[in-house]
Amino acid sequence: MHDDRSITEHRLRRVLAERIRPAVHARSVPLTVERWQAPDEPVPVTEGLAAPYEPCAIGEPWGPAWGTTWFKVTGTVPADWAGRTVEAVLDLGFDRMMPGFQCEGLVHRADGSEIKALNPYNDRVRVTDRAVGGERVEWYVEGASNPVLVEHRPSREGDRQTSGDQPLYRLARMDLAVFETEVWELVQDLEVLYDLMQQLGDADARRYGILHALGAALDTVDLDDVPGTAAAARARLTGVLASPAHASAHRISAVGHAHIDSAWLWPLRETVRKVARTTANMVHLMDDHPEFVFAMSQAQQLDWIKTHRPGLFERVKKKIADGQFVPVGGMWVESDTNMVGGEAMARQFLYGKKFFLEEFGIETRGVWLPDSFGYTAALPQLVRLSGAQWFLTQKISWSQVNAFPHHTFWWEGIDGTRVFTHFPPVDTYNSDLGPAQLAHAARNYREKGRGSRSLVPFGWGDGGGGPTREHLARARRQRDLEGSPRVEIERPDAFFEKARAEYEDAPVWAGELYLELHRGTYTSQAKTKQGNRRSESLLREAELWAATAAVKAAGYAYPYEELERIWKTVLLHQFHDILPGSSIAWVHREARATYARVGEELCALTRAAQRALAGEGTTELVFNCAPYARRGVPAGGAGRAVEAGRPVTVQERPGGGQVLANGRLRVEVDGRGLIVSAYDLEAGRESVAPGLAANLLQLHPDFPNMWDAWDVDAFYRNNVTDLVGLDALEVTQAGPAAATVRISRSFGSSQASKAVQWITLRAGSKTVDMVTEVDWHETEKFLKAAFPLDVKADRSAAETQFGHVWRPTHTNTSWEAAKFEICAHRWIHVGEPGWGAALLNDSTYGHDVTRDIRADGGQTTTVRLSLLRAPRYPDPETDQGTHTLRFSLAPGAQIADAVREGHALNLPERVVHGAHPVAPLVAVDHDAVVVEAVKLAEDRSGDVVVRLYESRGGRAAATLTADFPVVAATESDLLERALAGTAVAAPTAQSAVPLTLRPFQIVTVRLRRA
Instruction: Supply the DSSP symbol for 513.
Output: B
In this structure, the dihedral spanned by the alpha carbons of residues 16, 18, 24 and 28, taken in order and rounded to 10 degrees, is: 180
Segments of 646-794 assigned E as strands:
649-652, 657-661, 665-670, 675-680, 685-686, 696-701, 721-722, 728-734, 738-747, 753-762, 768-776, 781-790
Phi, psi of 183 (to 5 degrees): -65, -45
Q: Which of 870, 903, 875, 878 is nearest to 888 (CA)?
A: 903
**Long-range CB contact pairs, 977-986, < 8 A, 24+:** 977/387, 978/1006
What gap in Å lies between CA 738 and CA 760, rounded to an integer?
A: 7
Helix axes of 560-572 and 342-360: crossing angle, nearest 10 degrees: 110
Give every strand in the sheet of 881-891, ordered side by side: 728-734, 738-747, 753-762, 768-776, 881-891, 835-841, 827-832, 795-800, 803-808
Helical residues (DSSP H) of 336-460, grouped into ranges: 342-360, 379-385, 435-444
The closest alpha carbon to 270, from 304, 234, 311, belongs to: 304
Distance CA 613, CA 874 (A): 47
Q: Which of helix, strand or coil describes residue 668?
A: strand
The per-type count for the chain, helices as H runs and strands as E runs, is 19, 52
- Dihedral angle over CA of 941, 943, 944, 946, nearest 10: -100
* Candidates 371, 480, 722, 963; catalytic one: 371
Residues in the chain: 1010
Query: Which of 71, 147, 68 shows the shortest CA–CA distance to 102?
Result: 147
Contact call for residues 326 and 320 (beta carbons, < 8 A)? yes
Angle between helices 435-444 and 181-199 (to 10 degrees): 30
688 φ, ψ to 5°? -85, 135
Closest residue by Cα to residue 694 from 660, 721, 664, 667 = 667
Rounded to whole angstroms, what are the CA distances from 708 to 53, 154, 589, 717, 781? Answer: 42, 10, 18, 16, 11
Ramachandran area for residue 905 (φ above 0: left; ψ -120 to 50: alpha; else beta): alpha
Q: Please state, as a whole number, how many other Cβ atoms lie within 10 Å of the Cβ of residue 728.
A: 10
CA dist 395 and 316 (Å) reads 28
What's phi and psi for 539, nearest 5 deg?
-65, -40
* Residue 657, strand partner residues: 670
Say whether 371 is catalytic. yes
User: What backbone torsions phi and psi does residue 195 show, to the nearest 5 degrees?
Assistant: -65, -40
714 closest CA partner among 822, 824, 862, 818: 818
Could you tell me which of 728, 731, 765 has the C-alpha nearest to residue 651? 731
Give the other-Cβ count within 10 Å of 134's Cβ.
10
- Backbone angles phi and psi of 1007, in degrees to 5: -105, 120
- Alpha carbon distance 279, 295 (integer Å): 11
- The conformation of residue 355, written as its DSSP 8-state character, comes to H
From the number of C-beta atoms within 10 Å of its C-beta (0-12, 13-18, 19+), residue 39 rates as exposed
The residues assigned a catalytic role are 371
